[in-house]
């Protein structure tokens, strides 16, 4: 048996309260929008903007901090001490709820079913049988790195790869995360795939996922030199870094090479198109759940 503890606070104290609850013995802590489900709900997409904490927007002005504790005789006292440590003068209202012991692994697995991209491609968690053994099946489990196929941006890129790759292409997956796009490209017939990421954990995850799918990816940290040209460049990141990376990504295209960018909200599409306009013409190729895929092709010889 566990105890879920929920407290409401403001954005200025949410992080400090989370840290204090962990220090008080919480097994896990999450921060939610206290107004979720109402007209005042505030969506956040977690896009970095170069600020010290890496967020373009602050936490919700009315935040709900939820912590999971092992039952204790002095639980309320520990929570009160945590609020003081977080700089909260008045103890906020506390909601306590008992949480029954469960098979958390099975519960987590039940939330991830196979994902059909199209008739040609499926993403299948390792604990599931492939719904269509005759299709190309990517074996991929949720993990530390972004990219399981469930997010619209990943889905849009996977669709594009199935439509674009005919076999024998060289491909750069910039911001490879779990390696899902590179693995899909290898299984779709790409001659070689290079995955680049800024996160060492992502590179480890991509390496493991490639091995699980019996494909070969070359993996490289973004601080390493990148001088090759590629037939295909794909980047599923976010608007701000995509704009900054425009010269690098377009510069890695071979003459006639094709590029696909995702991680872009529909409302941000023109911003990215404008950033790339001096280098390559992009267009919106597809949209899904408010996210778009931008596409372009490099004509002529690059210098």
pLDDT digits (tens, 9 = 90+) for 196-242: 999 998 999 999 999 999 999 999 999 999 999 999 999 999 899 99
What integer pLDDT is reported at residue 148 of this predicted model? 58
What integer pLDDT is reported at residue 303 of this predicted model? 38
Give the domain range for residue 273: 152-297
What integer pLDDT is reported at residue 97 of this predicted model? 87
- Nearest Cα neighbor of 45 from 202, 265, 293, 245 is 265
Same domain, 171 and 274: yes
Please check the confidence at residue 174 and state whether its pLDDT lies above 70: yes
- Cα-based distances in Å from 155 to 151, 244, 260: 6, 23, 12
Same domain, 94 and 194: no
Q: What is the CATH number of the domain that holds 90?
A: 3.30.70
Please check the confidence at residue 52 and state whether its pLDDT lies above 50: no
E strands present in the chain: 2-9, 28-33, 63-69, 94-99, 115-118, 121-124, 136-139, 170-174, 192-197, 218-221, 230-236, 253-265, 283-288, 291-297
Least confident among 118-122, 138-142, 210-214: 138-142
Instruction: Place 92 in a pLDDT band, splitting at 50, 70 and 90.
Output: confident
Q: Which residue has the higher pLDDT, 72 or 59?
A: 72
Same domain, 42 and 158: no
Please check the confidence at residue 289 and state whether its pLDDT lies above 80: yes
Determine, yes or no, domain membership for 122: no
Please check the confidence at residue 45 and state whether its pLDDT lies above 80: no
- Nearest Cα neighbor of 118 from 102, 100, 131 is 131
What integer pLDDT is reported at residue 54 of this predicted model? 42
- Nearest Cα neighbor of 302 from 247, 260, 254, 231 is 254
Same domain, 159 and 292: yes
Place of tokens 């001659």: 191
How crowded is the C-beta side of 205, counted as CA atoms within 13 Å?
Answer: 24
Same domain, 172 and 236: yes
Least confident among 107-121, 162-176, 235-249: 107-121
Q: What is the CATH number of the domain that holds 193?
A: 3.40.50.150
pLDDT > 90 in the chain, percent: 56
Average pLDDT over residues 88-98: 82
Same domain, 93 and 159: no
pLDDT in tens, 143-153: 544 555 668 99
Same domain, 205 and 279: yes
Same domain, 267 and 168: yes
What integer pLDDT is reported at residue 56 of this predicted model? 45
Least confident among 77-81, 225-229, 250-254, 269-273: 77-81
Structure-token pair, residue 132:
């269509």
Please check the confidence at residue 192 and state whether its pLDDT lies above 50: yes
Please check the confidence at residue 73 and state whether its pLDDT lies above 50: yes
Least confident among 32-46, 73-87, 159-173, 234-248: 32-46
Instruction: Place 50 in a pLDDT band, splitting at 50, 70 and 90.
Output: very low
What integer pLDDT is reported at residue 146 of this predicted model? 52
Instruction: Place 57 in a pLDDT band, splitting at 50, 70 and 90.
Output: very low
Q: What are phi and psi of 279, to 5 degrees?
A: -110, -40
Domain count, the chain: 2
What mean pLDDT is reported for the chain? 86
d(CA 250, CA 263): 17
The CA dihedral of 86, 87, 93, 97, to the nearest 10 degrees, is 10
Same domain, 90 and 218: no
Determine, yes or no, domain membership for 223: yes
Same domain, 94 and 203: no
């Amino acid at each position: 048996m566990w105890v879920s503890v929920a407290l409401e606070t403001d954005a200025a104290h949410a992080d400090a309260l989370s840290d204090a609850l962990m220090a008080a013995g919480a097994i896990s802590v999450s921060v939610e929008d206290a107004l979720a489900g109402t007209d005042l709900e505030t969506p956040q997409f977690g896009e970095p903007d170069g600020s010290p904490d890496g967020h373009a927007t602050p936490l919700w002005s009315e935040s709900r901090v939820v912590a999971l504790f092992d039952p204790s005789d002095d639980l309320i006292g520990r929570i009160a001490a945590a609020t003081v440590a977080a700089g909260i003068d008045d103890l906020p209202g506390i909601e306590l709820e008992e949480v029954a012991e469960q098979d958390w692994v099975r519960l987590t697995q039940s939330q991830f079913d196979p994902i059909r991209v199209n008739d040609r491609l499926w993403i299948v968690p390792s604990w599931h049988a492939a719904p269509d053994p005759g299709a190309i099946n990517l074996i991929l489990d949720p993990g530390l790195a972004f990219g399981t196929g469930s997010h619209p941006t990943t889905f849009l890129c996977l669709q594009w790869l199935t439509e674009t790759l005919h076999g024998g292409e060289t491909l750069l997956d910039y911001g490879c995360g779990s390696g899902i796009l590179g693995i899909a490209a290898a299984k779709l017939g790409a001659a070689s795939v290079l995955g680049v990421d800024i996160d060492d954990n992502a590179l480890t995850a991509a390496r493991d996922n490639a091995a699980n799918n019996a494909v070969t990816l070359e993996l490289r940290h973004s601080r390493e030199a990148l001088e090759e040209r590629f037939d295909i460049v794909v980047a599923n990141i976010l608007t701000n870094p995509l704009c900054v990376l425009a010269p690098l990504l377009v510069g890695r295209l071979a003459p006639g090479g094709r590029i696909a960018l995702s991680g872009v909200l529909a409302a941000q599409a023109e911003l990215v198109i404008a950033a790339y306009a001096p280098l390559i013409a992009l267009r919106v190729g597809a949209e899904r759940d408010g996210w778009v895929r931008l596409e372009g092709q490099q004509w002529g010889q690059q210098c």
